[in-house]
Amino acid sequence: MAYENLLINDEDGILVVTINREKALNALNTQTMLELGRFFTEDALQRENVKGVILTGAGEKAFVAGADIKEFLGLDATKGQEMAQRGQDVFFAIERFPKPVIALVNGFALGGGCELSMACHMRIATENARFGQPEVNLGIIPGYGGTQRLIQYIGKSKAIELLLTGDMIKADEALRLGLVNYVLPAEEAMGKAKELIGKTATKGPIAIAKVIESVNAYFQHDEDGFAREVSEFGYTTGTEDFKEGAQAFIEKRPADFKGE
């Protein structure tokens, strides 16, 4: 599939997706959101032997510096709700992707960029990364899940402070608060992301997908996360992967998972 604003590189099953709008600090315009949605709901699911996805931004200044504010000028209440819903649908597709998705945050992750990073399963920040939800500076609120996911990661007290003040935090504070998994020099970040995906790729692929589903269920108001865990545990015990994994453990050898 052809993309205008995304660069897709398949590196031995690790899909490195770069938002390629460097002059605009990789801002999320409508075209970019459409392409992200198409990638995660169609393209990536149809590719064979995918181990995971690393999502990053072009250049050294920004992961994603926010939404494209120029597109906001024609909004009214109805159009604003429609935009927010479309954005949430795309980010839910990322959050529910059955393989690990890692945000490599290589600079500013503000507004929609912070929300995009939080929709990923893990976040690795370079030392120059900055996070924030500055929407109140424009007289609006986050619309792509920021008021919900930020609380999940760092708790209500600090999250509401950042949401109400619009303040940015540096990478080291994001790590301390639990928003990111690692902070590394820029030259080491991609290697760490690939290392993590490589490690998960040695595990049972069905189990990986079911862990993602079960963790997500905890945060869904219409689901009982514990009940989902019981259901998915039962499902995985009926797979060939489980038989192989258990036998490999007994025989003290690496498991050869088939995703069956």
Torsion sign across C-alpha atoms 188, 57, 6, 103: positive
Active-site residue identified among 35, 95, 135, 232: 135
Q: Is 233 helix (H, G, I), strand (E, B) or coil?
A: helix
CA 67/CA 177 separation, integer angstroms: 24
- Residue 94: both structure tokens together: 């990322």
Q: Which of 210, 201, 209 is nearest to 254 (CA)?
A: 201
Q: Is 35 a catalytic residue?
A: no
For residues 162-184, b (16+ Cβ closer than 10 Å) or e, as one string? Answer: bbeeeebbebebbbebebbbbbb
* Residue 47 burial (CB count, 10 A): 12
Active-site residue identified among 115, 161, 195, 260: 115
Q: Is 22 a catalytic residue?
A: no
Instruction: Give start and end residues of each alpha helix (H) in 166-251.
Output: 171-177, 186-200, 205-218, 225-237, 240-250
Tell me if 26 sits within 8 A of 57, measured CB to CB.
yes
Q: Which residues are catalytic?
A: 115, 135
